[in-house]
Amino acid sequence: MSKSVLCSIITVVLALALLFPLPRLMAQIANHQSMMSILLKSGPVDEEGHVGHVDVTITLHSAGAPPDVPLLTMPIVFANVDTVAKTLKNFEATDANGVLPMEVKDGPDDSPVSFRNWIPKREVGGTLIVRYRAPISTIPAKRSGPPFDLRTEGGGFSGAGNTFLLTPVESEHYGLTIRWDLTALGDFAFGCSSFGDGDIKLSEPGAAAMLDRAYFMAGPMHRYPEKTAANAFSSIWLGSPVFDPHPLMAWSEKLHTYYRNFFKTESIKPYRVFLRYNPINPGGGVGCYNSFVATFDEKTKAENLELLLAHEMFHTFAPRLDGGSANRLGPTQWFDEGLAIFYQRLLPLRAGLIEPAEFLEDLNETAARYYTNTLNTTPNDQIAPRFWEDTRIRVLPYDRGSMYMAVVNDRIRKASSGKRSLDDIVLTLLDREKKGLENCTEVWIDLITNELGLAAKEEFEGMLGGAVMLPESDAFGPCFKRVSIPLRRFELGFDPKVMNENPRIIRGLVPGSEAERAGLRNGDEIVLPVGLDGVQGNQKRTLTLQVRRKGKVSSVTYLPRGEKVPTYQWNRVPGVRDSDCRQ
């Protein structure tokens, strides 16, 4: 039996065994498909343009279920973001026999994601109808995280499905219907989700299981283009960003077309970009089902979002190892994110949508962040457990993974005299997916060793163990050469775990650090969360913290940098034409 077949079998068996005890699994296999219907009814808009709540009605058709077994569930915290699991109001459940009493019970604390479960206290008879009110907050998030939380702006609201929608525990057996009632938002309001505009019906089994990767937005929204064709690129947003989104979305649409051709996509899926205001961590975002959420604030420039969009669109087309995951946080994140960082600048360059100078700027920002990172030798198996505790850990799969991909690409090109590259491995993995074959780590090892021999496996294992990945000077083509210059390490100046706690009380202040010199002290409370990943990659970017001390709040700004260390960067080679850079 080949390794690829064996890993497919092992992956499926282990996944099923971990998720479902055998009796429950057999019951699910025997169960027929049901439908899940969701009605989202918005509350009214106040004088400040805020929506205070959305009323949710969930109908599970043919939902017969035994008592004392979890039926509905919602994460309590997902990707460091609080959901409405503990704040939802007016919960009620009824079935064919009347009011259905349900017990609320939280899942095990040792689980990677803690869930709140709703458990029927008697057998469910026929159709189940669940109603509740999801409050929409205007208070800044307690912790830094992706823009998943249910928020209001511009006379509407937005949020990820897994932060405000209850879902069946066995959602993989449910089709999905989504309906909107936005009467309270005015005549020009409409609703949209990752699944499409307005009311949606998805009859295929497992459609409801995609809710944890779906995004929702409703209100008097703006859009690009004004008229969206089915299965096409589009974008929507609430309010009025300081930049004009239309040129940025036109750029993204061209890149989306280039991606379809590069990845040899046979069927065109709809792809939507949601733009959302975020004063805490602007300029970032998160990928969802066939969509992406990009964030901005009053200082965001459209051009600063281009490669972010290139990165996230890449995830929609790219292959995954070991089945991937909804938020790509796991042992193969080096692959998912490393590949995306490597191609986020290369494919736009090939498409003529960025210039070599923009390619170089992005490459050097990644290199600076990676080679000055004092934790850059952290083994891969330690990243997921520590992902949210330290920005230097959080960026490692992106930075190390991308440099590893550059090394592999360079070695393949040179071994084949330019006839093959990393492109060929990516397309091979995609072709396997189209044939229904599982891509696991062993498949990756087989492919790179077929290209480069057993040394490629040793290098791969070294990367997982924390070895620093260093591409050759000409690894990025004839336009660029490697140099070494002194750059300063990122140094927050106190225990980084503080930034993801609530409350955030400074401890472990580093004597003599920029943070101490700026006036921070142990015991100070950081009032608002801040995003650090972008700060870490920019040598000149200062950090401003809102700090409470003895009841008084003040701003403290400093440059979070420490010692200088030799750091690899790439320079433009004089005399090489820009057209020769697009290889």
Residue 551 counted as domain residue:
yes
Pair (421, 378) in one structural domain = yes
**Cα gap 566→572, rounded to integer Å:** 19
**Cα gap 467→473, rounded to integer Å:** 18
The predicted pLDDT at position 17 comes to 39
**Cα pseudo-dihedral 308, 310, 312, 315, rounded to 10:** -150
The structure tokens listed for 277 are 């205001």
User: Would you call the peptide bond into 140 cis, given omega within 30 degrees of 0 as the criterion?
Assistant: no
Contact 213, 206 (CB under 8 A): no
Q: Which of 471, 430, 498, 439 lies closest to 570, judged by CA?
A: 471
Pair (412, 541) in one structural domain = no
Pair (358, 406) in one structural domain = yes
Residue 86 counted as domain residue:
no
C-alpha to C-alpha distances, 147 to 162, 227, 481, nearest whole angstrom: 12, 26, 38
Pair (570, 427) in one structural domain = yes
Pair (345, 475) in one structural domain = yes
**Cα gap 548→562, rounded to integer Å:** 25
Pair (442, 542) in one structural domain = no
Pair (423, 572) in one structural domain = yes
Residue 539 counted as domain residue:
yes
Pair (472, 514) in one structural domain = no
Residue 215 counted as domain residue:
no
Residue 319 counted as domain residue:
no
Compute the Cα dihedral for 447, 452, 455, 461 and give only its sign.
negative
**Cα gap 361→299, rounded to integer Å:** 20
Pair (365, 408) in one structural domain = yes
- Residue 470: which CATH number? 1.10.390
Residue 70 counted as domain residue:
no
**Cα gap 469→370, rounded to integer Å:** 9
Pair (481, 554) in one structural domain = no
The predicted pLDDT at position 280 comes to 74
User: Would you call the peptide bond into 503 cis, given omega within 30 degrees of 0 as the criterion?
Assistant: yes
Q: Phi first, then psi: give them for residue 424, nearest 5 degrees.
A: -65, -35
Pair (570, 422) in one structural domain = yes
**Cα gap 257→12, rounded to integer Å:** 34
Helices (H) and strands (E) in the chain, counts: 13, 29
**Cα gap 441→3, rounded to integer Å:** 10
Q: Phi first, then psi: give them for residue 401, nearest 5 degrees.
A: -60, -40
**Cα gap 390→139, rounded to integer Å:** 24
The predicted pLDDT at position 249 comes to 94
Compute the Cα dihedral for 556, 557, 559, 560 and give only its sign.
positive
Structural domains in the chain (count):
3
Which residues are CB-contacts of 232 (< 8 A; sequence separation ≥ 6)? 268, 270, 271
Residue 291 counted as domain residue:
no
Residue 116 counted as domain residue:
no
Pair (406, 375) in one structural domain = yes
The predicted pLDDT at position 535 comes to 87
Using DSSP's 3-state secondary structure scheme, residue 505 falls into strand
- HEC sequence for 221-289: CEEECCCCCCCCEEEEECCCCCCCHHHHHHHHHHHHHHHHHHCCCCCCCCEEEEEEECCCCCCCEEEEC
Contact 472, 409 (CB under 8 A): no
Q: Which of 157, 164, 156 lies closest to 81, judged by CA?
A: 164
172: DSSP letter: G
- Residue 497: which CATH number? 2.30.42.10
**Cα gap 86→432, rounded to integer Å:** 42
The predicted pLDDT at position 270 comes to 79
C-alpha to C-alpha distances, 470 to 367, 406, 476, 479, nearest whole angstrom: 9, 9, 12, 18
Between helix 306-317 and helix 333-350 the angle, nearest 10°, is 120
Task: Give me the domain span that covers residue 541.
Answer: 492-559
As a whole number of angstroms, the longest Cα–Cα distance in the chain is 80
pLDDT along the chain (583 residues), means of 10: 38 38 38 81 94 96 83 89 93 95 82 82 93 89 77 94 92 91 95 93 87 94 84 88 93 93 81 88 81 88 91 90 57 93 97 96 96 96 89 94 98 97 97 92 96 97 97 96 97 93 93 96 92 86 94 96 97 92 80
